[in-house]
């Protein structure tokens, strides 16, 4: 019998971008199921509440049947085990991401040697996009169409009082 391979794709997803969606779609080619999990206790100061981020994730990913959304706090490796997975899925945009992600992967491996980290390079068309850059652009009236799902663009416009 085939054991279902599940990967956890953790992040703040504040907000989810088309780059994140690219990693999820490509992750589904490697894994039977991907759980997109919002880390709720990070040091970042999020623009959107956990509930808003979950809502945007669910709306964005509703057509992907093998994707679940969730949130967690505490150690990622503990959450991975709790969800019956053994793989962490992470996206890399540039060399600048690598050092941090490499350190995190090594620490997670030290905490639980049975949990592996798999890195996928972001597609070239998304390499410059980050949630932080998207929020900054939206805050100052920049158009985010094509870089984030429509539901996210609408929520950003609501947050920053922009109507078009």
Query: Could you list the active site residues?
Result: 20, 44, 93, 131
Q: How far apart are CA 139 and CA 95, in angstroms?
A: 27
In this structure, the strands spanning 67-72 and 6-11 are unpaired
Q: What DSSP line would sit under 48-60, residue for residue?
A: S-HHHHHHHHHHH
- Which residues, in sequence order, are bridge partners of residue 113? none
Q: How far apart are CA 147 and CA 99, in angstroms?
A: 25
Task: Select from 85, 40, 36, 30 the least CA-distant residue to 61.
Answer: 36
Strand runs labelled E in 2-160: 6-11, 33-39, 67-72, 87-92, 116-121
């Amino acid at each position: 019998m085939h054991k279902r391979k599940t990967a956890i794709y953790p992040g703040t997803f504040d907000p989810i971008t088309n780059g994140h969606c690219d990693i999820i779609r490509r992750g589904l080619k490697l894994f039977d199921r991907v759980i997109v999990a919002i880390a709720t206790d990070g040091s970042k100061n999020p623009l959107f509440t956990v509930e808003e981020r979950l809502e945007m994730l669910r709306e964005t990913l509703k057509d992907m049947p093998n994707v679940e959304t969730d949130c967690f706090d505490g150690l990622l490796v503990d959450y991975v085990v709790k969800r019956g997975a053994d793989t962490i899925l992470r996206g890399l945009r540039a060399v600048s991401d690598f050092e941090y992600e490499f350190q995190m992967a090594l620490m997670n491996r030290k905490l639980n040697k049975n949990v592996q980290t798999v890195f996928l390079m972001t597609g070239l068309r998304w390499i410059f996009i980050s949630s932080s850059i998207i929020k900054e652009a939206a805050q100052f009236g920049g158009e985010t169409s094509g870089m984030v799902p429509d539901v996210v663009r609408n929520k950003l416009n609501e947050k920053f009082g922009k109507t078009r």
